C-alpha cells in the first residue's frame, strides 16, 4: 500500500477512535492493590469457557511462570474437584509468555485434565503490571470484591497454609 494511502487512513480521528476502543482493555490491566476493587477480567478457562472472579471470592491465586504453575499443581494435585470453590478461591494462570504452539499442544491439554478450573491469560499486556515474583504464586486476598492484601507463596507449605490445608 502506498504511503499516501496509509497517511489518509491514520487520521487524528482514527487514532482517537482506536484509543477509545482500547480503553476497556487498559482498565483491565490495572494491578490489584489493597483497598481497591478487584478488576473485572474477561477471560476464558482451560476448557474455553467464560471465567470470572465471583463476588464471593476470597482468594485469587495468580501464577505467572512455570515455577509458580508447578507450585500450584503440586499443592492442588491431591485435592478433589470443587476444592478451590469450597475455599472461595480461584486460580489464574498467566501463560502469555509461553510460545503459542507449546500452549496449545501441551499446556492447555494438561490443564484440561486437572480437577479444577483455571482462568487462562494469553495476552501478555492484560496483566503486565500484576504482582509477580519469580517462582512464587501471588495470593490476592479479597473482601467484598475489594483487594485486602497481596502476598506471595514461594513454598508448598506457604501455599497450602494459604489454602487452609494442614501441613
pLDDT-above-70 percentage for the chain: 82
Other CB atoms within 10 A of residue 31 CB: 16
The answer to whether residues 112 and 48 touch, using CB atoms and an 8 Å cutoff, is no
Q: What's the CA dihedral at 162, 103, 95, 163 to 10 degrees?
A: -10
pLDDT at residue 22 in the model: 38
Q: Grid coordinates standing for 31?
A: 494491578
Q: Which helix (H) or strand (E) holds 33?
A: none
CATH topology of domain 3-162: Glutaredoxin (3.40.30)
| Tens-place pLDDT, residues 39-94 | 988 899 999 999 999 999 999 999 999 999 999 999 998 899 899 999 999 999 99
Other CB atoms within 10 A of residue 14 CB: 11
| Tens-place pLDDT, residues 25-45 | 334 448 889 999 999 888 999
pLDDT at residue 24 in the model: 39
The answer to whether residues 116 and 36 touch, using CB atoms and an 8 Å cutoff, is no
Amino acid at each position: 500500500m502506498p504511503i499516501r494511502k496509509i497517511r489518509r487512513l491514520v487520521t487524528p480521528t482514527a487514532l482517537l477512535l482506536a484509543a477509545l476502543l482500547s480503553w476497556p482493555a487498559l482498565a483491565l490491566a490495572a494491578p490489584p492493590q489493597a483497598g481497591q476493587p478487584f478488576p473485572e477480567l474477561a477471560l476464558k478457562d482451560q476448557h474455553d469457557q467464560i471465567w470470572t472472579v465471583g463476588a464471593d471470592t476470597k482468594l485469587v491465586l495468580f501464577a505467572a511462570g512455570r515455577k509458580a504453575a508447578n507450585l500450584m499443581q503440586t499443592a492442588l494435585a491431591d485435592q478433589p474437584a470443587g476444592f478451590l470453590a469450597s475455599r472461595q478461591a480461584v486460580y489464574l494462570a498467566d501463560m502469555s509468555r509461553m510460545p503459542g504452539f507449546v500452549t496449545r499442544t501441551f499446556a492447555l491439554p494438561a490443564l484440561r485434565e486437572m480437577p479444577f478450573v483455571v482462568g487462562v491469560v494469553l495476552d501478555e499486556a492484560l496483566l503486565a503490571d500484576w504482582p509477580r515474583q519469580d517462582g512464587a504464586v501471588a495470593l490476592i486476598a479479597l473482601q467484598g470484591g475489594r483487594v485486602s492484601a497481596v502476598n506471595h507463596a514461594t513454598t508448598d507449605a506457604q501455599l497450602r497454609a494459604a489454602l487452609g490445608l494442614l501441613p
